[in-house]
Amino acid sequence: MRTDLEPLNARFGPYVGSLGEAHWLGYDLDEEPGSAESRTIPGPDSRIRLVGVARLAAGGAAAVTGKAEYAFTPAAAPSPLPAALAPYAPAGAAWQHSRKFDAYANHEGAQGRPSGEYLFDADRDLVRFDLLYLYT
């Protein structure tokens, strides 16, 4: 599990705001777990999953979810997180989701083609993300 903020702030900080704390995983879905040939740079046709929970600055989640153009609504039960991350996603979180926000934040750039979703809990200033980056 990782807790460093720089890679996350660089990838989606401009969309969700500056992160103050995070617990996350980033791994190649096509790589054998525990492989001695682990890659540090995505190769062609890599599928990198970036999943975790992060705390935003005070009021950060409300600043995102309060924008009318995204039309955030209460999220259906989110997919389970990897076991190592489960303790960092509060059971009583009031997650909100917006497909419009996902489309806005998941544009293609130097970091590959992301897809996935962002869930926000405005009361706890949390963002939960589960993204897949395709490198072709």
Residue 99 CA to residue 118 CA, distance in Å, equals: 9
pLDDT attached to residue 36 = 47
pLDDT attached to residue 95 = 96
Regions of the chain with pLDDT less than 70: 31-45, 108-113, 135-136
Domain boundaries, the chain: 6-34+41-135
Structure tokens at 107: 């544009």
Residue 125 CA to residue 20 CA, distance in Å, equals: 10
pLDDT attached to residue 76 = 81
Tens digits of per-residue pLDDT, 19-39? 999 999 998 887 654 444 545
